[in-house]
Amino acid sequence: MNPNDKSTDRRDFLQQSILGTAGAGLAIASTSHVEAATSPEAKAPELVDEVDVLVVGGGTAGAIAAIQAGRAGAKTLLLERNAQLGGTMTTGGVAFPGLFDAWGKQVIAGIGWELVKESVELDGGKFPDFAKVPQRHWHNQVHINQFLYALLAEEKCSEAGVKIAYYEFPQSVEKTETGWQVDCVGFGTKRRVVCKQIIDCTGGAEVVGLMGYERLREDERQPGSFLFKLDTAHNPAENQLHRLYVHGADSTNSRTVTEANLTGRKSILAKVRASNQRLMHLQPETGFRESYRIVGETMITVNDYISGRVFDDAISYAFYPVDLHTKSGVKPKPLKPGTVPTIPLSSLIPKGSQNVIVAGRCLSSDRLANSGLRVQASCMGMGQAAGVAAALAAKSGSTPSQVPLASIHDMLREHGAIIPEIA
């Protein structure tokens, strides 16, 4: 082998480095050393940041929204209460995002697809053939290496000039003449953020709740999923993890999340003991499907969704069956051939609000519509649109609902997104 040809070894090296010894039970073969840069603010317990756009939540939608806002020239800060970006795909372990295609063609692209594509390519993985209409929707979900995705998302944030603050979350939000003052806290850190626009990508519209705007939530929620793997070493980009339903899972606050995690881990431990198999992989927390949703300027109904309604202010497509999980399981209801739902900008804007927009599963929609809209590719599409709207609003001194739709569409196209065809 030519010692200068590193392409052959790159995939093996990455998998060994990222998976480490957790999945294989191996001894540590070597130790690498890197030094973390220490910024002057690292020693200060109280900080002040003045930015154009504050993105709260670095999950499926939030990471994309932040990258887009940064690429659009907005000074952007991304707050994430956990330790990495990617949310459901990384911390939750649902590392097979979909759906980017519908009826033989790609309908969602842009920054989210860029990240997914690079994750697959860097891992030496395979893509489904979007030119073929699958018999089952999940056949065209893209299997990615969740660990690589988290690393690449951080890299793209850095390249876009996005500042990331892990382990922090807003405690209060106050309106100012030019936007918002947001007081945040993390362990050993108090941060005040003065910003022009906020993008709430928390999954449960938690910032919108702090602002006092109306939210909706069902008394009974879809179960969360705790993902794990028994028996054999897990290839994170090829084999799906096992899933355990955690009924009653509630992501409202730290106490309810703790209860969901404890319940899921206890059940998995019982499965390990009963099966006499090795536990090869365990995600760090429950993946939640459902929480609060905003009451937006437009609410997407299930009839809007299953009819493929093209809204006058549509900014991205969505595609997935109506997919409501219950205690008896899930029976996806596929959309009729040729149907591709759209997402309007006004469904991302809390009713009566200024200078705030949401993205992700907390968009304004009824429960059945939300069961299809909440999936990863759709959240990426709306995250990118929210990033554009917030960046343009910050630049013009307006609010997202006042930014000309043509300007939003133009910038989305410039950054590779696919725009719905509005009659």
CA atoms within a 13 Å half-sphere pointing along the CA-CB vector of 412: 31
| Domain range annotation of the chain | 43-218+290-414, 224-282
For residue 199, give both structure tokens.
């993008």
Q: Which run of H or E residues covers position 121?
A: helix 110-122
- What is the b/e burial string over 30-48, where b = at least 16 CB atoms within 10 angstroms of the residue's CB? eeeeeeeeeeeeeeeeeee
Q: Which run of H or E residues covers position 54?
A: strand 46-56
pLDDT at position 16, please?
A: 44
pLDDT tens per residue, range 10-26? 444 344 444 444 444 44
Angstrom distance (rounded) from CA 283 to CA 370: 25
| Greater pLDDT, 72 or 249 | 72
Segment 185-189 shows an average pLDDT of: 92
Residue ranges of alpha helices (H) inside 287-365 are 302-307
**Which CATH architecture does the domain made up of 43-218+290-414 adopt?**
3-Layer(bba) Sandwich (3.50)
Q: Which of 72, 77, 73, 69 is nearest to 50 (CA)?
A: 77
User: Which of the four pLDDT bands, split at 50, 70 and 90, describes residue 237?
Assistant: low
pLDDT at position 1, please?
A: 39
Segment 288-310 shows an average pLDDT of: 94
pLDDT tens per residue, range 349-396? 999 999 999 999 999 999 999 999 999 999 999 999 999 999 999 999
Residue 373, CA distances (Å) to 22, 306, 330 in order: 34, 11, 16
Write down the residue that tokens 């003045």 correspond to.
50
pLDDT at 221 over 60: yes
Cα 335 from chain centre: 23
| Greater pLDDT, 287 or 62 | 62
For residue 390, give both structure tokens.
């917030």
Q: Which of 147, 69, 136, 71 is nearest to 98 (CA)?
A: 136
Q: Which of 265, 256, 201, 253 is nearest to 228 (CA)?
A: 265
